Structure 1
């Protein structure tokens, strides 16, 4: 009896030794997917250290370093990151997954989409490309992974879902970026510029910011949609900057109070205050303001045409005008519905130009 008991006890112990570890280390399909994506793609996420010069308390010029992340996008060594990660940098250094460091060449950046491109001369065998997918058709609740390489401490992975789509975010250049992806995947300081990945292993966005009253992650992060990234990166690599459409005019939002005080026949729109001589709007025959008028505490230039629609899309403010205009490319022709100062309505065809470098659209 005693011998049989000990045999049974030994057999049971062996079964527990075999089964319990298997139970403890059994992975779900979702976990396996997370691990597979991290192991396959994390080598393509780099750390970016930027050195800028600034004045200290005693007005001495001293170097200051910042850190961010980036994604390798081709075997030529191009890396996409955020504009704000490399802004004003005097020196840029990229650290790969294997610890190798390279001085990066600045290729171009676009503050209005918060996208920048760098390039390093690294062996192709050390470059793992993060494939770009599409940001069309993304669904709230869809699983996403955020991979970063913050502060050169090594790659990190956070997991979450898309919590909203179609958000609007103001970029460092002042422009509103549309179709922003909102996620609850943690995007911590230093992760800016890293990729947002879907469950198939494709980049669907570039992580750019968090919303937080304290500076710590509270579960609201934002990523620039990859379809925007692809369009901007293509031009940054080709010519170092992204071309924006331009009509050559300074605009002001026409508020109902202004319209009522000026006895206009339209209450909302974007009023043309100034025209650039020889610019697209000037060539099309649009009219700018002629005289100054005081409305309450404001002095405004009046007399210009008021744009109320672009190709049938209603314009109620300058932001509406700019948002709609960014859907087009230089050389496209648009039809503007305008209300002349005298009250007559008109339709004017304008061939869009290319915004001059350094020009700020207002």
Structure 2
């Protein structure tokens, strides 16, 4: 009977020896772990508690949102280019010093036409384009439109170019998803995502008006300028042009893009005339709302008031009247008493955006019919549109 405890101890020791020498070295213990046997957690080399492991049986699939992001990137990336411009500046001793700037652009056709911002290549002596496949080509500046901050450049004899697909921008809705692809801080092929935050008129870097600019919270930074702003189908709806940085030279969550409809009108002029022929009424204007209309006794609570008619321009030739009475809006002088534009060709003009949209459907030399109030009298006036210049008057109003 005394031998039984001894035999039991020997059996237990033999089992422990087998587990620690045979099972551990063959990996069987690891298989036990995968089948639910929980080894112990350790702390300082001591076993303290159970550890549960879960391994994926296969690589996870992309969800629908990720699939869309990837599809947009793959479609648009081959059309996006990096643009390096080299200009010559002079140091303190009047010695020439090359200065380089970077921006983005996108391919318009297989002949090598590329659209970008004018400020990306402005005053450049040399322009170089790097494609998404890292090949570099010298580019020629064909023409620029400083008023819209657009430039058309060209690379020659490049095979297998992938043109971007252009959409429309007049039907954009605040809240819809957008993507920006470009070269922020020289980091080529970078994509960011956001939404259309607003559609508003702004002033460009040179003070030029940009009507119906697309505001977005997609992160854009220096180097994104000239690159495409895309919809969820990978189609171009705008050209990234500037950020509201509040003094910091980086994204603050507010970026702006030139609407692609504006760019299409500019490109159409390029193709037909070799330059931009933006239509103009040759007037300086003041937007009118209900409060101002009531304050100064206008017959309509909306419209565009003509402050000044430019000498020799389209409006003067048509007999339109500018203001004659000076008053102040805060510290800014404005001229009252001019004609109030309320419609063009029967289309209501309630804001500068309405007037810009109506003008974008015409070219210099077209004749339009304006509906105006002169005092309390309603008139129809035919105006032959002039050819806008790239000057921007220093006034509260805008030249159109």
What is the TM-score of this pair, normalised by structure 2? 0.71
Deviations 1:267-294 (A, max 9, x none): 9822335531xx43343234568xx988
Do the aligned residues in 2 keep the contact of 1:235 with 1:241 (CA within 8 Å)? Answer: yes
CA-to-aligned-CA distance 1:210-258 (integer Å, 9 cap, x gap): 21222221222222222222222232244333222223x45465999xx
Give the number of equivalent residue pairs.
345
The equivalent residue for 2:381 is: 349
Cα distance change, pair 336–18 in 1 and its aligned pair in 2 (3 A): same
Unaligned stretches of 5+ residues in structure 2: 1-14, 37-51, 394-398
Give the aligned partner of residue 56 of structure 2: 20
1:149 counterpart residue number? 183
Deviations 1:303-330 (A, max 9, x none): x8434434374578xx689646634523
Residue in structure 2 matched with residue 130 of structure 1 by the alignment? 164
> Is 2:232 the counterpart of 1:203?
no
* Unaligned residue ranges in structure 1 (runs of 5+): none
Residue 31 of structure 2 corresponds to residue 10 of structure 1: yes
In structure 2, C-alpha distance between the alignment counterparts of 1:146 and 1:273, rounded to whole Å: 40
1:193 is paired with a residue of what secondary structure?
Answer: coil
- Partners of 1:117 and 1:54 in 2: CA distance: 24
1:209-248 → structure 2 map (5 Å cutoff): 209-213=242-246, 214-247=248-281
2: CA distance between counterparts of 1:215 and 1:140?
26
User: Is the CA contact 1:184–1:220 (under 8 Å) kept in the aligned structure 2?
Assistant: yes
Give the 3 Å change call, closer, same or farther, for CA 95–314 of structure 1 in structure 2.
closer
Task: Give the structure 1 partner of residue 121 of structure 2.
Answer: 86
Task: Report whether the alignment pairs 1:190 with 2:244.
Answer: no
Assess, with a 3 A threshold, how the Cα gap between structure 1 residues 236 and 12 changes in structure 2: closer, same or farther: farther
* Contact 1:140–1:165 under 8 Å retained in 2: yes
Q: Is the 8 A contact 1:112 1:174 kept in 2?
A: no
Cα deviations across residues 184-213 of structure 1 (Å, max 9, x unaligned)? 221111011111222222122211122122
1:172: how far off? 4.0
CA distance in 1, matches of 2:198, 2:348: 21
Per the TM alignment, residue 102 of structure 1 is displaced from its structure 2 partner at its CA by 1.3
TM-score between both structures, scaled by the size of structure 1: 0.77
Which one has the largest radius of gyration? Answer: 2
> Judging changes above 3 Å, is the alpha-carbon distance between structure 1 residues 105 and 14 closer, same or farther for their aligned structure 2 residues?
farther
Please give the alpha-carbon distance, in whole angstroms, between the structure 1 residues aligned to 2:228 and 2:139: 19
